[in-house]
């Protein structure tokens, strides 16, 4: 292992629920972790980050900064911004990135590594898929509901020795971390869950008129004006049928693109999600708080790929129509 990995300097950009949880794990394990913060700066600087978890509660004390220049060049930069803030990359990241910095996006959806590659060399970019149930309940407080594995891969490259070093860094902090040599496929596998549960959970809050305009595929199963948790969607009835239909459409797109995603992934994800209970997916929380929805990366970009390869996705088309009607006006975000 290279000496830098014995005591790496780590920055977390966008420490909301995901960034706070993984950053706190690393800090609690004794790593040098800097949080680039905005709204939660005072709370985290004073009280640290508290993680409430069925695996045991703990409090971590990362270093805090309001501006990236205060942190300086790091060995690892973990990006946990909402994808609606990707236009801030050019402002936030250069002061943190040196020639040897590993840049790891923990964001959902498509296009994040591509956006980073416009600014930095491909060989510095990695992606991490987070399979975890989290809710930020107060400034500096995150409720961990279950799961927690990170699937880590290089962008457009085979895993490097540093990929394994990063995975070990997470594992030593109590985070299960696996390495994949097929990051693009892993992104589509995560989309299988995100499109269905994030999308339908929010679409249920649309008006009857908006649902009706998208056709009967969604309107017959979703209530109007009420977001749905994962447990409410898994009703063993018409809502669960919608979840499965969207999952199978997403798998069909992935397979048409050559990613070889097994069709039984839908059933496995549904059963695993049942164990989370009444979980509110992140897009629901954004919608309820009036934040911009991650509409492009999670929904429209996959739809464009479906159209590109000629895969029929009537449920995804209807879902995108409803979500576009609900989407809040775009507001530029920095770190939270």
Q: What pLDDT is stored for residue 210 in this prediction?
A: 87
Q: What pLDDT is stored for residue 266 in this prediction?
A: 97
Average pLDDT over residues 103-122: 97
Give the 3-state secondary structure of the chain.
CCHHHHCCEEEEECCCHHHHHHHHHHHHCCCEEEEECCCCHHHHHHHCEEEECCCCCEEECCEEECCHHHCCCEEEEEECCCHHHHHHHHHHCHHHEEEEEEEEECCCCCCHHHHHHCCCCHHHEEEEEEEEEEEEEECCEEEEEEEEEEEEEECCCCCCHHHHHHHHHHHHCCCCEEECCCHHHHHHHHHHHHHHHHHHHHHCCCCHHHHHHCCHHHHCCCCCCCCCCHHHHCCCCHHHHHHHHHHHHHHHHHHHCCCCCCCCHHHHHHHHHHCCCCCCCHHHHHHHCCCCCCHHHHHHHHHHHHHHHCCCCHHHHHHHHHHHHHCCCCCCCCCC
Question: Is 90 exceeded by the pLDDT of residue 332?
Answer: no
Write out the catalytic residue numbers.
Answer: 190
Average pLDDT over residues 125-150: 94
Average pLDDT over residues 105-127: 97
pTM of the model: 0.91
Please report which confidence band the pLDDT of residue 3 belongs to, taking 50, 70 and 90 as the band edges.
low
Question: Is 80 exceeded by the pLDDT of residue 53?
Answer: yes
Q: What pLDDT is stored for residue 224 in this prediction?
A: 78
Question: Is 80 exceeded by the pLDDT of residue 86?
Answer: yes
Please report which confidence band the pLDDT of residue 6 belongs to, taking 50, 70 and 90 as the band edges.
confident
Residue-wise pLDDT for 189-210, tens only, equals 999 999 999 999 999 999 888 8
Average pLDDT over residues 103-131: 97
Average pLDDT over residues 106-134: 96
Q: What pLDDT is stored for residue 21 in this prediction?
A: 98
Please report which confidence band the pLDDT of residue 228 belongs to, taking 50, 70 and 90 as the band edges.
very high
Q: What domains lie within the chain, and their CATH numbers? A: 3-181 (3.40.50.720), 187-326 (1.10.1040.10)
Mean pLDDT over each residue of the chain, to the nearest integer: 93
């Amino acid at each position: 292992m290279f000496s830098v990995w014995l005591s790496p300097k780590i920055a977390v950009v966008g420490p909301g629920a995901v960034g706070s949880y993984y950053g706190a794990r690393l800090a609690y394990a004794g790593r040098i972790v800097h949080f680039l913060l905005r709204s939660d700066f005072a709370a985290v600087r004073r009280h640290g980050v508290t993680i409430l978890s069925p695996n045991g509660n703990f409090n971590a004390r990362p270093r805090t900064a309001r501006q990236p220049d205060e942190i300086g060049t790091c060995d690892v930069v973990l990006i946990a911004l909402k994808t609606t803030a990707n236009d801030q990359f050019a402002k936030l990241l250069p002061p943190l990135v040196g020639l040897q910095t590993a840049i790891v996006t923990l964001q959902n959806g498509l296009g994040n590594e591509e956006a980073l590659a416009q600014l930095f060399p491909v060989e510095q970019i990695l992606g991490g898929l987070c399979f975890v149930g989290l809710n930020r309940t107060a400034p500096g407080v995150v409720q961990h509901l279950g799961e927690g594995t990170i699937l880590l891969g290089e962008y457009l490259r085979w895993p490097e020795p540093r990929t394994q070093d990063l995975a070990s860094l997470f594992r030593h902090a109590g985070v299960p971390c696996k390495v994949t040599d097929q990051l693009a496929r892993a992104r589509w596998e995560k989309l299988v869950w995100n499109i269905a549960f994030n999308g339908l959970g929010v679409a249920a809050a649309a008006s009857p008129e908006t649902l009706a305009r998208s056709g009967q595929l969604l309107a017959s199963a979703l209530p109007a004006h009420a977001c749905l948790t994962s447990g409410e969607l898994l009703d063993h009835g018409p809502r669960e049928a919608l979840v499965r239909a969207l999952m199978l459409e997403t798998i069909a797109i992935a397979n048409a693109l050559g990613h070889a995603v097994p069709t039984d992934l839908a059933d496995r994800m549904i059963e695993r999600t049942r164990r989370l209970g009444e979980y509110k997916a992140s897009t629901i929380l954004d919608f309820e708080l009036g934040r911009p929805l991650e509409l492009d990366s999670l929904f429209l970009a996959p739809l464009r790929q479906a159209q590109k390869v000629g895969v029929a996705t009537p449920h995804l088309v209807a879902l995108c129509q409803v979500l576009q009607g609900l989407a809040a006006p775009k507001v530029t975000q920095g770190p939270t």
